[in-house]
Structure 1
Amino acid sequence: MITVKFPTFVLKRFHRLQWKLTISYLITCVIVLCLLELLVALIGVGVTLSQDRGTLEHHAQLLARIAGPTFPATRVAHQQQLQAAWELLQESNPAFQGYIATVDAQGRVIVAAGNHAPVPGYDLRSALPASVQQDTRGLLSSHASPSSPQSALLRTSFEQGREYVVAPLLEGTTTQGILVVSGHYVRFSWENVLTFLLFFGVSAVIFFLGAGVVGLAFGAVTARGLVRRLQQIAAAVEGWSLGDFSTFVSDPSRDEVGQLAHRLNHMAQQLQQLLRMRQDLATVEERNRLARDLHDSVKQQIFAVSLHVSTTKALMRHDERAAQAHLLKAEVLVRQTQRELMTLIRELRPVDLEDRSLAQALQDYTHSWQEQTGIPVELKVDGDIATSLEVENAFFRIAQEGLANVARHSQASLVKLHLTCATVVTLAINDNGCGFDVHNREQRGVGLSSIRERVQALGGHLDIQSSKGQGTTIIVWCPQTEKDAS
């Protein structure tokens, strides 16, 4: 079995906003025009029905004038006269349905013609409405002549949706019988319904073609301008997503799209100001951290060196051995100060990770940190999935902060690092130092706050486990998307 697939690129074009708006305009125009056509047709039917009574009365009176008022010589001639009059009316108006009949003075049918005409001998007068029976009795008791105006010989009434016309049949001046005409219109026969549906269907096709052209033209013109304005907004938003807030949406109109563009421009300005403030705060925070580190380590060590040098100067003339001992201690402090300065400089200088992986950078850094601090470091790496430069830089900085905290506060004799590079990048830093109370906010330094901020910026998670005398474990993990890993 051969299956034919419809080209997907054709369907994708109709997913665009311009085509959706155009098709919606087209459908709206077609529906509105079809409803207007149906409304006009219903109004026409209503007007026709409202005029039916007058037309029905006219046709019934016309039939009575053709068939009477004189009494024919024979019954056969009279039957032929009624049949001819009925056929003449049917040719001009086939919707007129009913009968024409001649009844005698007792109300029995003599002859009749038409649709469902009563049979001869039928007591028709008793089957007529009361008002019509009264008209027949009045005509039978009255006297008229053939020369009287026909309007004076006819009695007309409308009962139960049917028109009744009665007229006297004269023989000389004597009324020998009554001519009864009963009629109504049959508007909703199957033939009429089919005719109406055919008319509506043909006109609907014509309206559809006309509305299709109008809807497509109107939709294409209207949607094109709207789509162009939305494309400008999308281009500006894409630039903002890349960090470029210098691009603004140029849309001076005051409609909803223009208001949206104005609010987005205002948002971009606020984001630009917020980024400047964040950069300033980060700079201030980094300066404060550097000042604290210099105060806690380098300044104290330099002050100790100055004390040893002063003591050496005072002892050189009296006790040369003691002076040399103080000089050796000052030399050791100078070397420690030099290592501290190298560590701070390394932390301030951006690490180049373009040519090295995170694992290689951590291996080099832990080796150097071990030599400077004298604390052994065990590094374990699992997984070989590539990570983005942003994740690598953040995790490298987190490792620096963690090891710096170990060197300053933990009094540890061993540090273990475990890095896992998979769909979720995980870094665990564990030391066997003195530990601290995690729930005590006063013991949370700037280093841990910096780690927490870096993790939050990546959308990752941070877990700190520590207690006094039991060491500290810091676990950081961050899920990376396919875009990050590519």
Structure 2
Amino acid sequence: MNKRFSSIRYSYIRSHLYGVFLTTVTILSILLSIYVLIEPEWLTPHSIFLFISLYFVLAIIISLYTGFKSSGDMKERLDYLSVLITQFANGNYQSRVYYNEGDELARIGNEMNELGEKLQNQVKSLQRMADEKADYAKSAHKAAVIEERQRLARDLHDAVSQQLFALTMMSEAALKQLDKNPVTAKKQMEEVAKSALQSQTEMRALLLHLRPVHLSGDSLSTGVSKLVEELKQKSNTRFQLAIEEDLALTETIEDHVFRIIQEALSNILRHANATEVRLDIATRAKELFIHIRDNGKGFDVNHRVEKKASYGLKTMQERSEELGGTFVLRSDQDEGTHITIRIPC
């Protein structure tokens, strides 16, 4: 309620009422001064009271009407500017606002239009640079493959290799306890099964990175559908995919988006412990909209997450920004994670 009464419309009304109050006090002071100093016959206390009362009532009514009337146009124009700023924040730089008036708001609107045009040109420049970067990346493909293999080797050593070693140790301990203490052996075998499942999930996530960086001639729709179908067959996680068939995208945007989705699904498999994943890809208002959500354990975005997961999120954000897009992450403990990406196209 306080926020509503602090709007520009009520500010106009308050200013009109303030003017009425000052005018009423001034007229009353003048009439009282004439009555005290000159004492004319036509001026009596009763006439002063009647005049001031009628004036005050009429002035209040007129002030309320003129306040609403005069602030309506101003509020509407400010709302247009607010919507334009929101559109820019969401990556829709094609939006414009036009005023016929020649006042300060019209000047601000023209400056906002120029800002939108500059942002739109910057997006085109970023996408052109991304195209050039993609060509350069293809020429340096061999070096990238070697670096990727080295990284995967480190991940295998840090994660799967250590887990397999732990499986070996627990299995040997369970065998020793099998005859002497079957209950303890059973608990140890349950831990072995749990660790084996974790190792299997870790391995599947790492294998995602062995897929080609480029779509190898497939469209984004086909490539993502194949990826999701493969994960459905090899993972206990349930995947739901909603993607437009005919996406008019450049090769560079398709490659970047495909890699972003690979990284997101890899993070979910390795860190989220999710049972359901939903992926939506569509075009909305001249932009590519991507939404990925899971029902995993989530995390506090204001605190440092696991180093590998943080690296993956940073990579996805950088790839989105290279295309002039926006990357929004929302997550809470035990409430899953939502990733929203908008890329102008």
TM-score when scaled to structure 1?
0.36
Relative CO higher for 1 or 2, CA cutoff 8 Å, sep ≥ 6? 2
Task: Answer 1 or 2: which has greater helix percent.
Answer: 2
